Structure 1
Amino acid sequence: MKAFVASCIVGVFAFNEDGELIDKVLFPKKVEEVAERLSKIKEGDLVKEEHKLVKALSMAGYDEIVWSKHSDVSGVNTVFQKSNLGDDKLQSEFRGYAIKFKWANTQAEINEILTKVNIALTKTKLREVKKDKIIMQAISSLDELDRTINIFSEHMREWYGLHFPEMSRLVSTNEKYAEIITANGKKFNIPDKNLNKTAEKSGGMDFSDEDIKTIRAYSKSILDMFKLKEEVTKYIENETKNEMPNISAIAGPLLAARLLNYSGGLEKMAKMPASTIQLLGAEKALFRHLRGEGKAPKFGVIFGHPYIQRADKDKKGKIARLIASKLSLASRFDFFSKTDKSADLKKELEEQVEKTLK
């Protein structure tokens, strides 16, 4: 048998297929507790009243529960159906049920409680800073920091290159380049044998003590930015794994954060089709194509995924579709059910990719 389960400020109610009330579990008549339960239900969590009602329904022979939430209950077949019979019935009848089951005495009392609950829910929502928004700010800051480091490093190489032009081709990484300047200053003070030998024959101009002091301070600021970049990166990796373990497992923490940023938030991403996720970050290319100015893009920021990078050119599109499909499923797990299916999703993707690459 099928039961339709819905909730309101009064409690959780179950109806049969004819719209008849078959069971109920009322909430405590306390504004804070009602607000807390309704907030959890909206987020897709199961509250104890729902557990109790579903258990009673199961014992009464109801083997299918229909409700407007993405939540599973062990041993019971649950079906998501937005705006189902139960929701419609309860919306029109909850005031009558409140008085009938002595949860409230008058319509005026119901109105008062309803107002207080709505105020409590609004305050809770205003206090909450969703973690995905913080991650989005962090990844935006990290990308901006990357751009700043590159610009500063370019100027550093040009500046110190006047003193020691040969060092630029001998030291490839900007961080190492900055470390050498910060630690040693003038080219003749560099202890590295190869660099010191090159410095003796260098055609660069002499720098005064004041010149060296200033560029050392400048290179030190670049090293500080590299350190900050490392700290922000670790923060993003940790928070992304905690907040959205499934997306993080499929895309990797940093790519997951960038996808989150391009999508506008976890909720929006969870409601996106796989085809949209695949093109996140390629909006400009897509608009150019729609204007007839280029080919349709096959992928956006997802192109940075290791599986796509290692795939042959003719298979990159197929791999991108596989990854986008898994990301679509992963985002729904992360947002709606808050269940960690990362190990299974990652294993399934690996098998599908390997099969495609053969």
Structure 2
Amino acid sequence: MPITHALLESSSGYALFDVKLTEDIVSHSQAAQESIKDLGKFGKMVELRSFVPFKSAAHALENINDISEGLVHEHLKSLIELNLSKSSSKKSPITLAVSESTLAGNIREATGVQCDASEKAQDIIRGIRLHAPKLLSSLGEDDLTKAQLGLGHSYSRSKLKFNVNRMDNMIIQAIALLDQLDKDVNLFSMRVREWYGYHFPELVKLVPDNYTYARIIVFLGDKDTLTENKLSGLEELLEEAQSDAKSTGETLSGIESTSTTAANILSAARNSMGSSLSPVDMLNISAFAQRVVSLSQYRKSLVAYLATKMNDVAPSLTALLGERVGARLISHAGSLTNLSKYPASTVQILGAEKALFRALKTKGNTPKYGLLYHSTFIGRAQPKHKGRISRFLANKCSIASRIDCYSGERQLYVLQWESLVTIVTPSTIR
């Protein structure tokens, strides 16, 4: 059936064209393709029948969202019914060229107009789209370009905001950065200990904590400058380090009393066996120690950021597993939506794929847990109970991730998950 009309969805509105000389357009010869590119020849093959502009930018965005999903907006439906439905008859059948097959089917259902989304229809629409600024005489070329730019920005912005409450990509990036920071801080701390150890080797045993050690280097510099006048400042530094550790739930190993530790450092500095360093060497060591301190401080802020994000995006999963284990599960799955689609058996071994495939290949025992091994549930369980705890935990993680992903009132379930954490023991699991 020959194509009689063509529909153009532009950024400014919908345009309906009468199509003439269809055979000349759809021919795949070189001459036919050249005639599509030539406005003079192509203008004789199509003629503008009707153009209805969008009422506003919001109206244009609403229409393009429907078009992208293959839906027929009322604005488009009214255009087709007004211009084509009454003209259609058995003697003069109408076939409308449409750019997309899903949209063509929905237009046929909504209006009863026969639609064509074949290759020949695409050739016609491609030519119309190419010469649209000239064929749509009511619009200037600049107007169409500006409309395309504005609508493109609005459409992209709406797609980015579509999943605004599920910012799991931020969690994936944060946990990846946190893991990398852990490696870097540990590596740099070992390097600064080795470097400064040539000058003050006794300090390594007196201050086991890497962050506190680096801060003492920045404060102290050359060990020969440490006198009783600096003792009060050193005590304040150690007290601050202890309070920071307590605020994060950690314990500062090797430091029982700040005054005693400060006095021991002063005594060790006076009787140190370390070699002297030039001012240039000490300047470089201090700069490197300052870098370790700044990285450690940024790591603490990143941990707080991750905790906030996890409590916003996946509060149930966070209450069950904690921020870091929950974030690693989301990162490994790719998104919270993907994690929610996994069955409990997959969640249980998530992160242990290599061990699983190796066991299947050798027909050995499959792993009982993957990333869930780092959960406090499994960590405090006896070895004989770890498998049961892991299976139970994977089941609850699957439920929690689905609540976080699909429930509108996710915070309502947090207290239930927190109470579950306190009562889970091997005796409560069948």
Q: TM-score, normalised by structure 1?
A: 0.65
CA RMSD of aligned residues (A): 3.7
Q: Deviations over 1:62-114 (max 9, x none)?
A: xxxxxxxxxxxxxxxxxxxxxxxxxxxxx9996577459xxxxx678xxxxxx
**Match of residue 12 from structure 1:** none
Tell me what 1:297 maps to. 367
Instruction: State whether structure 2 residue 143 is matched by structure 1 residue 143.
Output: no
Gap runs ≥5 in structure 2 = 1-57, 69-102, 116-147, 232-261
Matched, 1:156 2:192: yes
Q: Distance in 2 between matches of 1:322 and 1:351?
A: 13
SS in 1 for 2:425: helix
Distance 1:294 1:194, change over 3 A: farther
Is the counterpart of residue 353 in structure 1 residue 425 in structure 2? yes
Q: How far is the alpha carbon of 1:304 from its aligned partner? A: 1.5
* Deviations, residues 234-272 of structure 1 (Å, cap 9, x unaligned): 111101110111111111122211111111111110111
Q: In the alignment, does 2:159 pair up with 1:125? A: yes
Aligned residue type for 2:415: A
The match for 1:343 is 415
Deviates more, 1:282-291 or 1:261-270: 282-291
With over 3 angstroms needed to count, the CA separation of the structure-2 counterparts of 1:150 and 1:165, relative to structure 1, is same
Q: Does 1:186 align with 2:222?
A: yes
Question: Alpha carbons of 1:257 and 1:208: their partners in 2 closer, same or farther (altered >3 Å)?
Answer: same
Amino acid at match of 1:187: K
Distance in 1 between residues matched to 2:364 and 2:218, nearest whole Å: 47
Structure-1 residue corresponding to 2:318 = 248
Contact 2:392/2:429, CA 8 A, preserved across alignment? no
Alignment match of 1:219 (pick from 265, 268, 289): 289
Give, as a single letter, the amino acid of the residue that structure 2 aligns with 1:188: D
Would you say the 8 A contact 2:197–2:274 is kept in 1? yes
Distance 1:342 1:201, change over 3 A: same
Cα separation, partners in 2 of 1:183 and 1:293, compared to 1, 3 Å: farther
Following superposition, the deviation at residue 143 of structure 1 comes to 0.6
Q: Summarize the alignment of residues 1-358 of structure 1 with structure 2, pairs less than 5 Å apart.
A: 32-33=61-62, 98-99=110-111, 124-125=158-159, 131-190=167-226, 191=231, 192-292=262-362, 295-340=365-410, 341-353=413-425, 355-356=427-428
Q: What are the Cα deviations for residues 153-174 of structure 1, in whole angstroms up to 9, with x where unaligned? A: 1101111111111211221110
In structure 2, relative to structure 1, the CA distance for the partners of 1:342 and 1:194 (3 Å cut) is same
| Bigger Rg, structure 1 or 2 | 2
Contact map agreement 2:315 2:414 (CA 8 A) in 1: yes
Equivalent residue letter for 2:340: A
Offset at 1:290?
A: 3.0
SS at match of 1:204: coil
Aligned equivalents of 1:157, 1:141: Cα separation in 2: 24
Deviates more, 1:292-301 or 1:239-248: 292-301
Separation in structure 1 between the aligned mates of residue 331 and residue 293 of structure 2, nearest angstrom: 27
Change (3 A) 1:357 1:210: farther
**Structure 1's 247 and 312: CA in aligned 2 closer, same or farther, altered over 3 A?**
same
- Closer/same/farther in 2, CA of residues 213 and 243 from structure 1, 3 Å limit: same
Deviations 1:181-216 (A, max 9, x none): 011112234432101212222221111222111101
What is the CA-CA distance between 1:233 and the residue it aligns to?
1.0
Change in 2 beyond 3 A, CA 1:99/1:347? farther
d(CA) in 2 for partners of 1:311 and 1:357?
Answer: 12
Q: 1:30 Cα deviation (Å)?
A: 5.2
> How far does residue 351 in structure 1 lie from its aligned partner after superposition?
3.2
Q: Distance in 2 between matches of 1:357 and 1:310?
A: 15
In the TM superposition, residue 294 of structure 1 has moved relative to its aligned partner by 6.9
Deviation at 1:218, TM superposition (A): 0.4
Distance verdict in 2 for CA 1:127–1:187, change over 3 Å: same
Letter of the 1:140 partner, please give it.
Answer: A
Distance 1:123 1:214 in 2: 47
Q: Do the aligned partners of residues 214 and 316 (structure 1) sit closer, same or farther apart at CA in structure 2, a change above 3 Å counting?
A: same
2-structure distance, mates of 1:38, 1:333: 32
Choose 216-225 or 164-173, whichever is displaced more. 164-173
8 Å CA contact 2:318–2:326 kept in 1: the answer is: yes
Aligned length: 271
Whole-angstrom distance in 1 between the partners of 2:162 and 2:66: 16
Relative to the length of structure 2, the TM-score reads 0.55
